[in-house]
Amino acid sequence: MMLCIGMHSAQAQQYPEKPIRLVSPIPPGGAPDLVARSLAATLTKQLSLSVFVENKVGSNGNIAADYVSHAAPDGYTLLIGMDSLFVINPFLYKKVPDANKEFKPVATLAANEFVLAINPKVPANNLKEFVEYVKKTKPAPAYASGGNGSQHHLTMEMLKARSGIDLLHIPFKGGVEATTATMGGDSVAMFSGTSNAGLIKSGKLKALAVSGVKRSKEMPDIPTIAETYPGFDNTIWIGLFASKDTPDAIIQKLRTEVNKALKDPAMVDSLNKAGGIEPLITTPEEFANLIKKDQNKYSTIIRSLNLQLD
């Protein structure tokens, strides 16, 4: 045991001394990948060594998680963890290992919110008008999501329950396909990441409301859903995780460097320009509480929908 402790201590003192891989669970262009690439660029500058992004896509982040969980626990292969992997998937999938048991949280990275976006031809200019339109439309119109159990899906189900509307769910394989379907009129609405701000500004999508507790810095004219339905909040977060056997000393070193990077003006600016993504710095205790709070929220929604995937 003392030999192991000594080896871990030596590893931590030398860390990092070779390139670090950040594994992104989604294709290039989505919020987690944008955060990963901004962080990689900033850490490369800070640490004077290469930090790069590798994409392992599929199964709501489970493929990326499996890859990192089987990598050496030495701090050189890290997971860009979507909150859904830790607060949704354990309640959604029957046969997938619980990521909370496979990883150690390193640090929160960023927070973002969803935008209720509709096809521009839908006759609604605000959330109240959209709700009235849906209630009058028979049969129920369709909405698109990035997949069954995705946050796009569950956020719309939260809105349906709160507003009393009925919408037909059409799941796609990711947010890009859902966006294409909504722009093309195959669905009337979707919850979109703020990374679609460019499409909204160009008029290809119409934004009605954001899902967080405050208005987006990127789109300050768009009201929150809570302004119509008080208390509504679905803010999403992205964090950095290491496999469970990574020495605590390496975790601490990583946390220090990541929190420093999140204060770098260039990184803050790059995240803001990528759709109003906000850096999120927390203590380990705050991060643990955030995970627990969201687990309680999403497990309740998933049970109410009787939703389970293989």
43-99 per-position pLDDT tens digit: 999 999 999 999 998 877 889 999 999 999 999 999 999 999 999 999 998 888 899
Do 157 and 201 fall within a single domain? yes
Do 123 and 72 fall within a single domain? no
Do 105 and 117 fall within a single domain? no
Residue 3 has pLDDT above 50, yes or no: no
For the chain, give the mean pLDDT: 91
Distance CA 27, CA 29 (A): 6
Do 105 and 253 fall within a single domain? yes
Residues across the chain: 310
Structure confidence at residue 268 (pLDDT): 94
Q: What is the pLDDT of residues 206-243, one digit of tens each?
A: 999 999 988 887 788 999 999 999 999 999 999 999 99
Do 159 and 86 fall within a single domain? no
Q: Note whether residue 289 is domain-resident.
A: yes
First to last CA, the chain: 40
Do 63 and 204 fall within a single domain? no
Do 64 and 117 fall within a single domain? no
Q: What is the pLDDT of residues 254-293, one digit of tens each?
A: 999 999 999 999 999 999 887 778 999 999 999 999 999 9
Residue 1 has pLDDT above 80, yes or no: no
Alpha helices (H) in the chain, listed in sequence order: 2-14, 31-47, 62-69, 83-87, 89-92, 99-102, 127-136, 151-163, 175-184, 197-201, 248-262, 265-273, 284-305
Provide mean pLDDT across the span 120-128: 97
Predicted TM-score (pTM) of the model is: 0.85
Among 200, 227, 254, the domain-final residue is: 227
Write the CATH number for 196.
3.40.190.10
Distance CA 134, CA 158 (A): 15
The pLDDT-based confidence of 310 (bands split at 50, 70, 90) is confident
Do 22 and 165 fall within a single domain? no
Q: Note whether residue 83 is domain-resident.
A: yes
Find the domain containing 272 and state its range: 2-112+236-305
Q: What is the pLDDT of residues 159-192, one digit of tens each?
A: 999 999 999 999 987 788 999 999 999 999 999 8
Q: Note whether residue 310 is domain-resident.
A: no
Both structure tokens of 42: 């900033």
134 and 160 Cβ atoms separated by less than 8 Å: no
Structure confidence at residue 197 (pLDDT): 81
Distance CA 77, CA 241 (A): 9
Provide mean pLDDT across the span 10-30: 86
Q: Please state, for a pLDDT cut of 70, what percent of the chain lies above it.
A: 95
79 and 65 Cβ atoms separated by less than 8 Å: yes
Structurally, the chain folds into a number of domains equal to 2
Cis before residue 16, ω within 30 degrees of 0? yes
Residue 17 has pLDDT above 60, yes or no: yes
